[in-house]
Amino acid sequence: MSMIVSSLLPLFLTGLDLTPASVPVEAPATAARDLPSPKVILAQAPASIKPATPPAVASPDRASIIDRAGKALGGVKTAQGKFTQSDDLGGASSGAFYINRPGKVRFEYTKPEPMFIVSDGVSVSIEEPRRDAYDAVPLASTPLNLFLRGTVDLRRDGSVVDVKSTNGSHFVTLEDRTGEAEGQMVLEFRASDFELLGWTSIDGTGAQTRVRLTETRTNVKLQPTLFIVKDPADAADDRR
């Protein structure tokens, strides 16, 4: 069941291949091979005019990215919006998400069929109404626990194993150092303001699930009932 949650979940909160080995490495901002040949420039301008040298562009260092990513996560107490999800097998799904930190999250899948993934801060449940299926696992055994904690200090907790930057985004790879949650989660932050754009979850077998967030609203009021975990079997027993 833990593997099911790992493959379905990585949802907090795109179609890129973001394994730690395959996430593009940030190219130096002003690598010499990227500059036009001086001969080409001089051939197009009077000899008395020298081509301007582009100024060097400073990029955030690893520690700065980790600190700002942690601060961005910690600054979001509640959030809601839409998500799309895809996997290595070509599967695609979408729906709405709700987050109430610490530990609480709800994903309502509407396509291709209804499904609910809910964390009450202790356990995570998966309910598939059409299949009459239900199961639950501890939150600590899922990748969601890596960034749903009440206090986020990514440098202090040692969960960051890689940082990359490319195409206007920073990619921060997290791994549970306790070994309770298998695999890794690669969070994508927009470089300009560190808004969380989505993530890629990589389970213990290397399979990837990619999630993209849209229409995100942060620090909004959410109903507590969204995060109640209910086993359908208990409801059936109550009706007897």
Model confidence at 104: pLDDT above 80: yes
Mean pLDDT, the chain, rounded, equals 78
Which of 38-42, 61-65, 153-157, 174-178 comes out lowest in average pLDDT? 38-42
Query: How would residue 231 be classed by pLDDT, with cut points 50, 70 and 90?
Result: confident
3-class SS shares of the chain: helix, strand, coil, % to 5: 25, 35, 40
For residues 69 and 195, what is the distance between their CA atoms, to the nearest angstrom? 9
Cβ(118)–Cβ(240) below 8 Å: no
Averaged over 86-92, what is the pLDDT? 91
pLDDT for res 52:
55
Q: Which residue has the tokens 């942690």?
A: 70
Cβ(194)–Cβ(170) below 8 Å: yes
- For 46-84, write each residue's pLDDT tens digit: 444 444 555 444 457 999 999 999 999 989 999 999 999
Cβ(185)–Cβ(5) below 8 Å: no
pLDDT for res 92:
93
Model confidence at 94: pLDDT above 60: yes
Residue type, 105: V
- The phi-psi region of residue 170 (left if phi > 0; otherwise alpha if psi is between -120 and 50; otherwise beta) is beta
Query: How would residue 235 be classed by pLDDT, with cut points 50, 70 and 90?
Result: low
Residue type, 34: D
Model confidence at 9: pLDDT above 90: no
What secondary structure letter does DSSP report for 225?
G
Model confidence at 2: pLDDT above 70: no
pTM: 0.70
Model confidence at 8: pLDDT above 50: no
Cβ(162)–Cβ(177) below 8 Å: no
For residues 122 and 130, what is the distance between their CA atoms, to the nearest angstrom? 26
Higher pLDDT: 144 or 7? It is 144
